[in-house]
Amino acid sequence: MAKGEKSWEKRLSGKSDPKAVAFVESLSYDRRLYAHDIAGSIAHARMLAGEGLLTSDEFDQIADALRRISEEITAGRFAFDPVHEDIHMAIEAALVERTGDVGRKLHTGRSRNDQVATDLRLWMREEIDRMCGRLGDLQRALVDLAGRYAEAIMPAYTHLQRAQPVTIGAYVLSFVEAFERDRGRLRDTRRRVNICPLGSGAVAGSTLPLDRHSTARELGFDDITHNSLDAVADRDFCAEFLFDAALIAAHLSRLAEDWIIYGSNEFGFLTIDDAYCTSSSMMPQKRNFDLLELIRGKTGSAYGALVAMLTLLKAQPSTYNRDLQEDKIHVFAAADVVAASLEMTAAIVGGTEFHVDRIAAGMSQGYLEATALAEYLVSKGVPFRTAHGVVGSLVAECEKTNQRLADLPLERLQAACAAVGADVYETLDPATVVRRYRTEGAAGPRQTTERLAFWRRELDAR
């Protein structure tokens, strides 16, 4: 057989143009599916034997050869030939070389269309589990960091303007909540991934007696697909996974943005370990948060993969088209960049220190207690909108005289609102304000401690 000729391809005559071979190949990137392809092939062969389409001896030959191929690929001893355009053909060619006509029986009742759809689902199922594990590692690092600052206070910001006082622990735990939503989305996606398309064939199924349920059970799927046309075309699960990855990247980017801002000289709220900083090639004083900047920048790659996948799907005629070969480029790229960013963020969080004294020294700036003062007036029977206006006027007055609200004498406060009593000054200290938060989920030390206990239990249980 001439090099470049496929034993199974008799419809076309002549040799392929080498440029065409290079253009259509996916072996350079889909080889990472080898273990899943072999697992699916063994399950398919076992089903064929169960239906009498293979003898038990033929099944044993196929399974043994496939396991040896898997071992060789894992060990780096397998010689990939570019003439085999994808991992499926590379493995099948090696199988046929070792077992002859027995190996040629493996593809009975199967197409590369349902084969690759199965392989990709098997890979993605494992990748989701790995990604959930990395999210858990990051959550643990954040919980550990929050536990060190459960009562220390900092300003919270809206519109990047000082808003209200919160505990540092509550701020850090806010990211734990976001990453938990990411984990929930991935687990939900996993349910839709875990459906087996094997046995759908090229598009219409097979006239052979294939037991699709037995194959699905062996591969750990929850169910089979129920329309062969849809099964070979469906890449919704890829788009969904990429959306999940993109949103994880967005949350990582927001954390990175905060840390970069809070680590600047202008803020001075935190420091990260030198292991995760770089220096300048020109300015000797610089200590740059480059790794955080890269985490922020790599978000664009995750977004790009999602947009590319949606674009790939938007004009696909039914059912399978070769365009879908490109799905793996985007899925693998996003998975890799998010995995690396999750691991790096967890490491950075583990080496982060908040400067509690410096933050506390600046808590008198920005009138962080203003909302608490308005709510104090509400507790005295003043309508909230009226209280809002009273406090706003007092803040404007203090800004002109460079005073704090706590600097105003009682007589001035009472002149602004007769409901003010001598106890008003208890609401004018940010450290006191955070202890007065009463609502569940608020950013006070009591709520922070309660949520820390919850997350420690939850993460330990996993």
Is 451 strand, coil or helix? helix
Q: Which of 280, 318, 379, 393 is catalytic?
A: 280
104 touches 424 (CB < 8 A): no
Phi then psi for residue 198, to 5 deg, are: -60, 135
Residue type at 182? D
402, with CB counted inside 10 A (0-12, 13-18, 19+), is exposed
Q: Where are the alpha helices (DSSP H) in 263-380?
A: 290-313, 327-350, 356-361, 370-379
- CB count within 10 Å of CB 71 equals 12
* Angle value at C-alpha 190, between 188 and 192, nearest 5 degrees: 85
- Rounded CA gap, 28 and 291, in Å? 29
DSSP letter, residue 424? G
259 touches 352 (CB < 8 A): yes
- Rounded CA gap, 149 and 445, in Å? 9
- Rounded CA gap, 288 and 264, in Å? 9
- If you write DSSP's letter for every residue of 389-401 in order, what string do you get? HHHHHHHHHHHHH
Which residues are registered as beta bridge partners of 270?
354
Is 156 strand, coil or helix? strand
- Helices 290-313 and 327-350, axial angle in degrees (round to 10): 160
Let me know if 280 is a catalytic residue.
yes
Contacts of 274 (CB under 8 A, 6+ apart): 287
State the catalytic residues: 159, 280
